[in-house]
Structure 1
Amino acid sequence: MGDSRITIELTADEALVLSHWLEKLQMTDLSRVVDDPAVWAPIHRIAGTLDKVLPELFAPDDDRRLEAARQRLRPED
């Protein structure tokens, strides 16, 4: 596999929710949550990529948009 690339497609809602979660994860002690340091590099790469493609993450209405995205992604009971 080596240097093969894999593409993952996300909806805007999925990207926003995942980016927020990854940001929270990175602010913790990763070694307590992720027991294999080899996983840290892909976590940082995904988070960095999402930060680049979602500049609106730091918009003033972030909390409202994040909650709306979460609601749309949650399965209906």
Structure 2
Amino acid sequence: MEIELTDDQALVLSDWLDRVMHRKDFSAIVDDRAVWSALFRISGALETQLSSIFDPSYSDQLAAARQRLIGQLGEFGEA
């Protein structure tokens, strides 16, 4: 199986996975232990492909990527 993401999508997803995968409340919603196998694979693949996570300007790149992606969503997800 192959999944294609834009650089912005990959960067934002990698950051999000890194922040939430180790939180207890996230673990509580993953109700099937087998799903962790896919989550670990996706997270690992993103980390090995994204050299920008080691870049000193990472936080700026991440913020810019978030803004571009949010701009593409239109009103979806707004409260």
TM-score tier (shorter): 0.7 to 0.9
Shift of 1:58: 2.0
Summarize the alignment of residues 1-77 of structure 1 with structure 2, pairs less than 5 Å apart: 6-29=1-24, 30-74=26-70, 75-77=73-75
RMSD: 1.3
Asked whether the equivalents of residues 31 and 37 of structure 1 are also in contact (C-alpha less than 8 Å), the reply is no
Shift of 1:33: 2.9
Match of 1:3 in 2: none
Report the TM-score, using the length of structure 2 for normalisation.
Answer: 0.82
- Between the two proteins, the alignment pairs up a number of residues equal to 72
Q: Which runs of 5+ in 1 are unaligned?
A: 1-5
Work out the percentage of aligned pairs sharing the same amino acid: 46
Report the TM-score, using the length of structure 1 for normalisation.
Answer: 0.84
- Structure 1 runs (4+) greater than 3 angstroms displaced: none
Q: Which runs of 5+ in 2 are unaligned?
A: none
Question: How far, CA to CA, are the matches of 1:72 and 1:56 in structure 2?
Answer: 17
